[in-house]
Each structure stands twice: as C-alpha cells, then as structure tokens.
C-alpha cells in the first residue's frame, strides 16, 4: 500500500521558463540514467527479495518510494519550464531563439527541437511524459532485479553513479536558480544512495565476502585455470596491460591475478549443410539434407 502527500519532497521553482531545459530534464525522468529506471529497479528488487532478514526489502521499498517523489519533482519542473512554450508551429518559428536554434549546446537540427516541443504540446499539453530527451518512451530495458542481493546492490551503485553524473551535467547546464537548487537536492540524494548500497555490501561482509557472485556456487565446479587470468587479445605483439587486475592476490582472496595472451583453444566451427525447405540456396545443401 502506498500513500500520497500532495506536497513535493523538495521545492521546485522556475523563475525563467525554458522549453529547451524541459527537454533536457526528460532524460532525468525517462532516460537510462533516470528516476523511472531506479524507481522500478528498487521496487522489483524489493518485491522479489528473498531473505530471512527483511530489512533489505524494507530499505529498498523506502528508497523506491522516495524515487517516485523525485519523478514528481522533475515532472513538475518540466511543466513549469514549458509554461511559455510556443503553442503552434508558427509561434515556434517566430520564437526560434533559443527554442529552435539550440538544443543541448546548439548541435541538434531544428526539426528535432520542434519535434520534441510538439510532443510536449500535442501529446502531453505542455507537461512531462515517461520518456527520454529524444522523445523515446521508457521501456524498462535497464531495470535490473536479479534476485541476488549482492548483484542488485552493485547494479544499484552503477545506477546511482550514472544518475548522479546526469544530474551534475544538468546542474551545469541550468541557468535558472530554482532549477540549480532542485538539482542540488537530487545530487545530494544520489550521493546518499551510492553510499547506501555500498553500506549494504559492507554489512554483508564486504566485496571479498560477496565475490564472485553468486558466492553460493561451488567454485571447484568452475574451470579454475581461467578464474583469475587477464586475457590479452592484441594481435600486434603488444603484451597485456599491467595493473592491479593482472598481478597480486585476487580481490576475493581466493586466487592470484595473472595475465597471458589469449589463444584459441577450440577448433573452427563447422555447421551442417542447410536443410531443404529452409530457404537456403541449393548450393548450400547436400544430397542427404532432409526437410
């Protein structure tokens, strides 16, 4: 069960509406780095969480619900930035600076700017929608909920890291003080959430205890000859790069890193002839091919 409070989690104010910035904010809603992604990711991780300790499920639900509030803030910001947007093609042409002539630094062609503006007008009535800055709808393809707590926490760290990177870029692109203030709040929450997921990994015993994921698999069943070897694939004589990942103890403490040039260990694949009725050419078949 969820409850709604009509008040925003944090103030959203726009002194000078900017339709261009409204488009950019769409990425923070429905982009692969956006709030829809993390909101659904945390919800599905929580709903599928299986553990004797329910605090991780509860934690995920709290944060997923917080992310709904972030979507609400951004949707409000998009709508406020569209309040002076042109309402027709003729108006948008007349108001071409900056709405038409510049998109994200002025590098996008005019039809892309107008197309996005028309989507905000024709499809949403000058409001936000669940899609990215190019108008593509959010499709859940980057929602990761594996059922493995450690794997999900590492996925969440990545999600918050890319989300914070986007929020910082939006902050740097913003000119309105209200938008900078809102984004400073969202950046701060991303900071906390990165720390939060890392804290869970630490509470579980740290990365060493969790690696390799899943740590429930008996490693004697994997081909351990290849478990901690960096494979170099350069064919011009360059040796594999040297680094922490090529020498010294592995991070899980269960092996030693090494490096070697990768060599093919299998034969070239040979497939059987094409079958009759498969739509292949006659020359691809042989006399014994069956339908």
Q: Which residues pair with 249 in a beta bridge?
A: 256
Task: State whether residue 257 is helix, strand or coil.
Answer: strand
Per-residue pLDDT tens digits of the chain, which is 291 residues long = 889 999 999 999 999 999 999 999 999 999 999 999 999 999 999 999 999 999 999 999 999 999 999 999 999 999 999 987 766 543 443 444 444 344 344 444 444 555 666 678 777 888 999 999 999 999 999 999 999 999 999 999 999 999 999 999 999 999 999 999 999 999 999 999 999 999 999 999 999 999 999 999 999 999 999 999 999 999 887 889 999 999 999 999 999 999 999 999 999 999 999 999 999 999 999 866 555
Domain span(s) for CATH 1.20.1260.10 in the chain: 19-207
Cβ neighbours of residue 103 closer than 8 Å, sequence gap 6 or more? 20, 23, 112, 113, 116
pLDDT tens by residue, 116-168: 666 787 778 889 999 999 999 999 999 999 999 999 999 999 999 999 999 99
β-pair partners for 229: 258
Nearest alpha carbon to residue 208 among 252, 247, 174, 240: 252
Query: What's the pLDDT score for residue 230?
Result: 95
Nearest to 89 by CA among 110, 67, 68, 72: 110
Please name the CATH architecture into which domain 19-207 falls.
Up-down Bundle (1.20)
Q: Is 207 exposed, middle or buried (0-12, 13-18, 19+ CB in 10 A)?
A: middle
Q: Which residues are annotated as a binding site for Ca(2+)?
A: 58
SS3 284: helix
Q: Kindly report the number of other CB atoms within 10 A of residue 147's CB atom.
A: 12
| pLDDT the model gives residue 100 | 38
Q: Which residues are annotated as a binding site?
A: 35, 58, 67, 70, 160, 193
Query: pLDDT digit string (tens) for 267-280?
Result: 999 999 999 999 99
Name the binding residues for Mn(2+).
35, 67, 70, 160, 193
Phi and psi at residue 42, in whole multiples of 5°? -70, -35
pLDDT of residue 98: 47
Write down the H helix ranges in the chain: 19-30, 35-47, 55-81, 89-94, 96-99, 110-118, 149-173, 177-203, 207-210
Residue 9 in contact with residue 111, Cβ under 8 Å?
no
DSSP 238: P
pLDDT at residue 237, rounded to an integer: 77
Q: How far apart are CA 170 and CA 168, in angstroms?
A: 5
- Residue 285 token pair: 């078949």
Calculate ∠ Cα 228-233-237, nearest 5°: 120
Residue that has been written with the tokens 């093919």 in this structure: 264
pTM of the model: 0.85
């Amino acid at each position: 069960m969820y409850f709604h409070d009509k008040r925003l989690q944090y103030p959203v104010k726009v002194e000078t509406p900017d339709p261009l910035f409204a488009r950019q904010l769409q990425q923070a809603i429905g982009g692969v780095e956006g709030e829809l992604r993390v909101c659904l990711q945390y919800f599905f991780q929580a709903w599928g969480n299986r553990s004797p300790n329910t605090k991780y499920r509860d934690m995920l639900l709290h944060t997923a619900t917080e992310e709904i509030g972030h979507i609400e803030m951004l949707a409000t910001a998009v709508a406020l930035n569209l309040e002076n947007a042109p309402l027709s093609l003729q108006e948008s042409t007349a108001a071409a600076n900056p709405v038409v002539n510049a998109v994200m630094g002025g590098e996008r062609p005019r039809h892309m700017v107008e197309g996005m503006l028309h989507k905000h007008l024709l499809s949403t009535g000058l409001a936000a929608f669940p899609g990215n800055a190019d108008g593509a709808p959010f499709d859940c393809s980057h929602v990761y909920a594996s059922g493995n707590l450690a794997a999900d926490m590492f996925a969440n760290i990545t999600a918050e890291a890319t989300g914070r990177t986007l929020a910082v870029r939006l902050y740097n692109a913003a000119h309105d003080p209200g938008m900078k203030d809102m984004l400073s709040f969202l950046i701060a929450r991303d900071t906390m959430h990165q720390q939060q997921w890392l804290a869970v990994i630490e509470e579980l015993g740290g990365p060493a205890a969790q690696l390799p994921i899943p740590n429930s698999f008996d490693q004697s069943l994997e081909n351990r000859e290849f478990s901690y070897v960096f494979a170099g694939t350069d064919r011009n004589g360059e040796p594999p790069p040297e680094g922490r990942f090529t020498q010294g103890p592995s991070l899980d403490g269960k092996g030693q890193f090494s490096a070697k040039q990768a060599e093919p260990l299998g034969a070239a694949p040979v497939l059987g002839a094409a079958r009759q009725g498969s739509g292949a050419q006659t020359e691809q078949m042989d006399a014994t091919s069956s339908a």
